[in-house]
Amino acid sequence: MTLLKEFILPRLLQWFIVVFIGVTITFLIPRLSPINPLDQAISRLTAFQTMNPDAVVALRASLEDLYGLEGTLFDQYIAFWQRIAQGDLGPSFGAFPMSANEIISRSIGWTIGLLGTSVIISWVLGIILGSLSGYYRDSWWSQLMEKAVVVVYPVPYYILAFVLLMAFTFYWPIFPLIGSVSGRPSLSWDYISNLLFHSFLPAVSIIIGATAFRFIMAKALSTTESASDYVYYAELAALPKRRILFDYVTRNTMLPQVTDLGLSLGTIFSGALITEVVFGYPGLGSTLYNAINAADYNVIMGVTLLSIVGIATASLLVDLSYPLFDPRVRYR
């Protein structure tokens, strides 16, 4: 009972407050925008035809009811929460009569597959390479890795993406320039190999930069741990180097790195906008970019809400899982 009252419930309350405030801000920001999507929709409908003024008024009233923009701001806010509770994001402004749910559901799988895999691979590589480099910091290969990372890490991501794109799709046309796998999804080797082939270059562009960041963090943490007393005494006791590295150094650096992993996985629901636009990848980033250009507020709000809930939930799960990863933390 004490565990539930003093540890779990406060964190659940914090999660609820974060989501509530995030959803409220998401509701308000599009309505404060100077661009009115209803005016744009009506302008498109009346651009090549003349409509009776009464018909235009009736059309506006119908669109306001359809898109949840009818009534006062408070009425819209209540209706917005009712739709969110039902999992209904409303119709798309730019691809009517498709719903925002349908548009997002078509792209979310691509983003989860690309970013989820890339984040986990870069996290594992960064921890392993950074911990090795921090513990064996005087070795030549450790210094070589550090110099390579120092060169790669400051390079802006979009520059790295364009370099890979030009190198491996133009000068050496190994990978496709844009697009994703074609054909109907299945568990066949042809479809899976085609999927990996199209996703490889976007994934590598993400992994390189993310691994460099995590390498720097892991090396800094492991260097600090390597200078601790218990590591010194473990070396005096002639324990195997591998055991010292993984049981005494790496394990005691996991707390901030688990936090990084959880938050990184939570952010995948916002998509990788630059990656997906550069490589023509049909994920949430491309969907969000197209929605912004088309002033498709329902799709924009849907992607934003996914990001808010994803990050808040990831923070909650990481907070609750701290005692499982760090022996110095215990439920009290």
Two structure tokens written together for 69: 């923009």
**Alpha-carbon span 3 to 155, nearest angstrom:** 46
Q: Is residue 230 part of a domain?
A: yes
The answer to the question of residue 315 being in a domain is: no
Q: Which of 58-67, 86-95, 298-307 has the highest mean pLDDT?
A: 298-307
Check residue 213 and give its pLDDT: 87
pLDDT tens sequence across 139-163 = 888 888 888 888 888 887 778 888 8
Average pLDDT of the residues in 181-193: 66
CATH number of the structural domain spanning residue 237: 1.10.3720.10
253 domain-assigned: yes
Check if the beta carbon of residue 314 is closer than 8 Å to that of residue 263.
yes
> Tens digits of per-residue pLDDT, 102-125?
888 888 888 888 888 888 898 999
Q: What is the mean pLDDT of residues 308-319?
A: 84
Range in 15-29, 58-72, 304-318 with the lowest mean pLDDT: 58-72
Encoded tokens for 281: 């990848």
Confidence grade of residue 75 (pLDDT, cut at 50, 70, 90): confident
181 vs 254 pLDDT, higher one: 254
Cα(215)–Cα(145) distance, integer angstroms: 9
**95 lies in some domain:** no
Residue span of the structural domain in which 125 resides: 108-293
Instruction: Say which residue, 62 or 322, is predicted with more confidence.
Output: 322
Cα 130 to chain centroid, rounded: 23
**pLDDT value at 52 more than 80:** no
What whole-number percentage of the chain has pLDDT above 70?
77
Classify 91 as helix, strand or coil.
strand
pTM greater than 0.85: no
Q: What is the pLDDT of residue 174?
A: 78
Least confident of 15-24, 34-43, 266-275: 34-43
Average model confidence (pLDDT) for the chain?
78
188 occurs within a structural domain: yes
Give the count of beta carbons closer than 10 Å to the beta carbon of residue 23: 19
Secondary structure (3-state) at 271: coil
pLDDT of amino acid 45? 61
Digit-coded pLDDT (tens) for 216-258: 888 888 888 888 888 788 877 878 888 888 888 888 888 788 8
Tokens of 199: 């996703």
Within-domain flag for 83: no
CB of 258 closer than 8 Å to CB of 321: yes
Residue 300 lies in a domain: no
Residue 317 falls inside a structural domain: no
- Banded pLDDT at 35 (limits 50, 70, 90): low
Q: Quick check: 173 and 186 in contact, CB under 8 A?
A: no
In contact, 116 and 264? CB cutoff 8 Å = no
Question: Looking at residue 327, what is its pLDDT?
Answer: 58
Nearest to 278 by CA among 172, 167, 197, 177: 177
Q: Over 60: is that where the pLDDT of 331 sits? A: no
Q: How confident is the model at residue 328 (pLDDT cuts 50, 70, 90)?
A: low
pLDDT confidence band for 44 (50 / 70 / 90):
low
Q: Give the number of domains in the chain.
A: 1
Quick check: 260 and 123 in contact, CB under 8 A? yes
